[in-house]
Structures are given as C-alpha cells and as structure tokens.
Structure 1
C-alpha cells in the first residue's frame, strides 16, 4: 500500500532550467553594460559550467573553496574575468554573483499545475522533497516557492553526510515517514541520482524525462519503473498504484 511520495525539486517540481536561463540573460546584460571589453557569451558559458562543477578539473585552484559555495562562485567570477585579461576587484565579483542570484530567484517557480498536484496528493500521502545541492542554492529556492507549505518534510543533500544516490539519504526519508521501501515511490529527473538511488533503496521510481540525449543513453543501464514527460502525471501513476 502506497503511503508516501518522495520528490526531487530541480526539474521535477520546479523549472530550474528556465530560471537559470532568465538569470543568465540578466547577467549578460549586466556584465555587458559594465564591462564592454568582456566577451560576455564566453564568460556566461564558462560561468554556468563552473557553477555546475564542469570546470573542476580545469580549475583545481578553486576546489578548496567548495565548502563555501557562495565564496566559490565569487572566486570563479574573478578567475573567468582574469582569463580575458580583466582584473576584477572582489567587491565587483560579489555584485556580479548577486545579479545572477537575484535574477534566478525572481523567476524560480513550480512547473504549471504542480502546486495543485502537491495539494491533491498530500490529502492521501506524506510528501518528502529530497534535493541534492548546497544550502547556498537550495534554501533560497525552497523559500521562493514556500515549499514547506506543500510537503511534509524537506531533505537538502548539502546538509547530509551523503547526497542522492546514497542509500543513507533515502533511509532518512523512510524514517521520517515511518514507511517501508515498498510503501513509497520516488520521482526525479536524474537517472543516476534519483532513479538509481531509489532502486538501490528498494523504492519504486518515476523518471521525469527532460529529453536529454545523454539521459536516454543511460536508460539501458538504469531502468525506472515509470516514465513521465510532465511531472504532474505522477497523479495518474499514484492512482494506478492505489
């Protein structure tokens, strides 16, 4: 019998990529205006890659700063400006990062009809958000959406010993709702973190297909129990299980 639903946040409940796109556009306008000598497109491409830790091998000098995500991103900005021959004062890097953060949160929101879906599901099931990511980025998102009004529990990976797909974070969620793995279903967009993690914990999984080629290449190795293209379709799956 289904008793609880575990849910990822980014690209599952909320349109993170749209907020990122809006913030990147605003940041491009900001740096282009203040620093006309900067190749803004190149800076943005590398900044976003750095934020998502895709430049870690290339910029090992920044790795010791990862314990403080905000400080890491501010120093990333300094390094990327320096790549283009611009020595940026630290307070200017602080302002650049603030522009991105403020623009991102101004447009961060649930997918259409997701709030209504959570309200409906919560009438019958306990809901737990399990989101990977640092406190610096995840807590503002949770505040912007007032997530605590729509779910029973929230687990932020950056506050835990391990993030998804680690068994420990799913076990914590199971303990919070006092459920066995077979009494829960987990929905998320990451095959590696959400689906593999849920399967390892003995929990049925729902994969949100965001149409990434790289994800579809993993499907042969990581197979979800259910696939949806619109996360609000979790209601249909839950109805079948009920």
Structure 2
C-alpha cells in the first residue's frame, strides 16, 4: 500500500527557470539603469544566472572559496561580472543588486498550474515530503514564497543535510519521517541523476517529469514512470488503488 509521496520542488512543483528568466529580465533593466556605463546587460544577466548555478566556477576560482556562504558567493559573482565590463562596485552595491534580483525572483516564483490543487488532494490520502536540493540561501525563500509548509507534511532541504540527492541518506531521512518502507513510497522529480537515480537505488518507485518530452536520450537511468508534468501524477496513482 502506498503511504507517502516524496516530491522534488524546482521544475517539478514550481517553475524555477521561468522565475529566473522573469527576474533576470527585470534585473538586466535595473543594472543598466543603475550603471549606464555597462556595455551589455544581457551578457551580464546570462552569465550571472550561469554563475548562480555554479557553471562558471572554473572561470572564477577565487569565488569558489566563498561557496559555504552563498550570499557572499553571489555578491562576489556580481562584482566580478560587472568588472568584466569595466564597472567597479563595492560590497554594499553588490548586496543591493543581489537583493533586487532576489525580490524579483521571489515575486515570480510560484507553483505550476494545478499543483496546489494536486497537493491538496494528495494530502488527503498520503504523507507528503518535499526533498529539494540546493543551498538554504535560495531554497528557504522559495519555500516561503509558495507557503510550502501549508501544503506538505515535511520538508528536507539538501543544504541542511550532510548529503543531497541522489544520496541514500536524504531519502532514508524522508522514509524515517513518514515511517514507511521504500516499497510504500513514490518519488517524483525532474532530474534523472538526482531524483530518479536516487529513488531507484533505494527501491522507491520513481516518476520522472520529462517536461520536454524528449525521453531519456540514451541514459541508463530508467524511471518507473514518466510524465510531462506533476499534474499527471493521479493517473499513475490509479495503479496503486
């Protein structure tokens, strides 16, 4: 019998990339207005978003040491990217820029259509646990933006844990919280390497959100089920009746 459902947040329940893009557009305008000497605000925001997702670490090894403090890392990133275009700002100015982006991002961060109703319905029958990777700096504001504690029973943030998904320890913590065995749980997420691989190794049935519909593209990580969005989850749950 199915007792609990584990859920990823970013790109599974919530449109994180869409919020990033909307915030990025506003941020690009703000930066250009604030620093008119900036040559290319679009290049700045594209590289900023890449840097936030740690895709520029090899270019800025001096910032890697700041990673234990995500706020310091991001303000350092802003200073470095502005300096690329000849704009020198101090720490306070970088903090103000980061705060503007954060405010815009949280204003745009929300559930995908139908997810709130889905969670309300699921919680009538199952224990719900959100397991989200990422630093506390960014994950807790997102959780607050959608009032996640009102919708689920437990929340586990990877940045609080010794290991993030796909580590067995974070899934085991979720199992312990709901008092369930792996065969009594379903996990849904958009990442094959983090969500699906982690659930599969634990013997938890996995549901992959393949929003693009492109399939696993040769990956050896095979989900138990595949959907285009979390809103399709009730179709799968019919198998457990």
Partners of 1:163 and 1:182 in 2: CA distance: 21
Partner of 2:16: 16
SS of 1:67's equivalent?
A: coil
Question: What CA deviation, in whole Å up to 9, does each residue of 1:108-164 have, x standing for no partner?
Answer: 111111111011011110000000001110000111111011100000000000000
Aligned match of 1:230: 229
| Alignment partner of 1:4 is 2:4 | yes
Q: Which residue of 1 aligns with 2:240?
A: 241
TM (norm. structure 2) is: 0.97
Corresponding residue for residue 208 of structure 2: 207
Please state how far the C-alpha of 1:53 moved relative to its aligned partner: 0.2
Contact 2:47 2:81 in 1 (8 A): yes
Contact 2:35/2:87 (<8 A) preserved? no
Regions of 4+ moved over 6 Å: none
TM-superposed CA distance for 1:197, in Å, is 0.5
Deviation at 1:83, TM superposition (A): 1.2
1:49 aligns with 2:36: no
The CA deviation at 1:37 is 2.0
**Superposition pairs of residues 66-215 of structure 1, within 5 angstroms:** 66-211=67-212
2:172 aligns to what SS in structure 1? helix
**Structure 2: distance between partners of 1:139 and 1:104:** 13
Distance 1:61 1:212, change over 3 A: farther
Secondary structure of the structure 2 residue equivalent to 1:85: coil
* Conservation of the 8 A alpha-carbon contact between 2:57 and 2:64: yes
CA distance in 2, matches of 1:168, 1:152: 19
Q: Structure 1 length normalisation: TM-score? A: 0.96
Q: Take 1:189 and 1:26, find their aligned partners in 2: how far apart are those partners?
A: 27
After TM superposition, give the deviation of residue 87 of structure 1 in Å. Answer: 1.2
Per-residue deviation, 1:212: 7.9
Q: What is the distance in 1 between the residues matched to 2:100 and 2:108? A: 13
SS of equivalent residue, structure 2 residue 92: helix
CA displacement at 1:216 relative to structure 2: 3.5
Check whether the contact 1:165–1:197 (CA below 8 A) recurs between aligned residues. Answer: yes
Inter-partner Cα distance in structure 2 for 1:23 and 1:126: 33
2: CA distance, partners of 1:91 / 1:216: 45
Q: Any gaps of 5 or more consecutive residues in structure 1?
A: none
Name the CA distance, whole Å, in 2 between partners of 1:165 and 1:78.
33
1:129 alignment partner, SS class: strand
Give the secondary-structure state (helix, strand or coil) at the position aligned to 2:66.
helix
Give yes or no for contact 1:134–1:157 (8 Å, CA) kept in 2. Answer: yes
